[in-house]
């Protein structure tokens, strides 16, 4: 309990310093009632087998393509069966952010990204048609929470037939800002070092007026979500916001990168009924 309180104190101090450095007018513009101790305690990240218990490690996902391996540009039926340590169907799953299972698919070069939600059959299995835009390897991450356990991630790699794009090295973005669906979005972090918790903050301004955006809508029960994958497509993080109930102009996330390297992230937010995906690539020392 003492450790938890200390971490909350650090989060609050970081936010206070960030806002105080913006000047009085900017501070008022960016003021967010959801950046408080209660909301800070609800933000988290999950992903990574290192922290799993032995019982959790025994839970497996069986991936299959009943209609044949996928081809680029054509819907391919995916079936995913979850099983417990005894090999029995895992049927009791918590609904987390409005879904029993979140599925993320990324291409080997991390150019292509999908965050989708398969249909639950009620017997521990899920089905969905997935369309891959080009040929080559794709990594699929299934993110779910068995009742009574922590959030778990299981992954697989599938080779998609079809034309493959020319390879491009993954490079960190020179600027962590851009225009997305009528919003100027920028990303800031307090520090960026592997194995040390960092605060990442997305800030939104209306592209037409330049004013802070305050009409973000909840997407899957929160102001936003961030999915992070390393350059090898082996490490996956699904991060939930600290100020989960906010409508802007900021979305704050706390994350720890386990290793140094290049990572690509996709922030997902909702405005005017549309899902806005914001990709950034960073290098973690």
Among residues 191, 202, 199, which one has the least CA distance to residue 285?
191
- Looking at residues 242-258, what average pLDDT do you find? 95
What is d(CA 125, CA 90) in angstroms, rounded to the nearest whole number?
Answer: 8
Q: Which domains does the chain have, with CATH numbers?
A: 2-47+170-284 (2.60.40.1930), 57-160 (2.60.40.10)
pLDDT(224) > 60: yes
Percentage of the chain beyond pLDDT 90 is 79
pTM metric for this prediction: 0.84
| Range scoring the smallest mean pLDDT among 40-54, 74-88, 169-183, 242-256 | 40-54
pLDDT digits (tens, 9 = 90+) for 95-129: 999 999 999 999 999 999 999 999 999 999 999 99
pLDDT value at position 133?
A: 97
pLDDT value at position 32?
A: 60
What is d(CA 85, CA 200) in angstroms, rounded to the nearest whole number?
Answer: 37
pLDDT(37) > 90: no
Is the Cβ–Cβ distance between 231 and 148 less than 8 Å?
no
pLDDT value at position 51?
A: 77
pLDDT(4) > 60: no
Average pLDDT along the chain: 87
pLDDT level of residue 271 (50, 70, 90 thresholds): very high
Percentage of the chain beyond pLDDT 70 is 82
Is the Cβ–Cβ distance between 40 and 32 less than 8 Å?
no
pLDDT digits (tens, 9 = 90+) for 39-73: 443 444 555 555 789 999 999 999 999 999 999 99
- Looking at residues 161-182, what average pLDDT do you find? 94
**The Cα angle at residue 103 between residues 57 and 214, in degrees rounded to 5:** 120
CA 87 to chain centre: 29
Higher pLDDT, 3 or 72: 72
Contacts of 185 (CB under 8 A, 6+ apart): 177, 178, 179, 202, 203, 204, 267, 276, 278
């Amino acid at each position: 309990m003492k450790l938890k309180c200390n971490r909350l104190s650090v989060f609050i101090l970081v936010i206070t310093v960030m806002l105080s450095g913006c000047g009085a007018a900017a501070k008022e513009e960016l003021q967010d009632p959801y950046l408080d101790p209660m909301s800070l305690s609800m933000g988290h990240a999950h992903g990574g087998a290192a922290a799993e218990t032995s019982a959790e490690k025994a839970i497996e996902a069986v991936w299959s393509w009943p209609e044949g391996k996928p081809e680029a540009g054509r819907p391919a039926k995916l079936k995913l069966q979850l099983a417990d340590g005894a090999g029995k169907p895992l049927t009791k799953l918590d609904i987390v952010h409005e879904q029993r299972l979140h599925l993320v698919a990324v291409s080997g070069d991390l150019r292509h990204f999908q965050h989708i939600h398969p249909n639950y059959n009620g017997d521990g299995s899920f089905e969905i048609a997935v369309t891959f835009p080009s040929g080559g390897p794709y990594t699929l991450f299934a993110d779910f929470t068995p009742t009574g356990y922590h959030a778990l991630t299981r992954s697989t790699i599938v080779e998609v037939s079809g034309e493959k794009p020319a390879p491009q090295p993954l490079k960190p973005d020179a600027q962590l800002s851009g225009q997305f669906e009528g919003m100027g979005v920028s990303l800031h972090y307090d520090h960026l070092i592997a194995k040390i918790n960092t605060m990442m903050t997305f800030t939104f301004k209306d592209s037409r007026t330049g004013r802070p955006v305050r009409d973000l809508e909840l997407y899957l029960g929160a102001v936003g979500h961030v999915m992070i994958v390393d350059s090898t497509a082996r490490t996956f993080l699904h991060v939930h916001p600290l100020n989960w109930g906010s409508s802007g102009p900021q979305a704050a996330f706390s994350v720890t990168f386990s290793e140094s390297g290049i990572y690509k992230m996709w922030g997902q937010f909702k405005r005017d009924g549309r899902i806005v995906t914001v990709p950034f690539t960073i290098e973690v020392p």
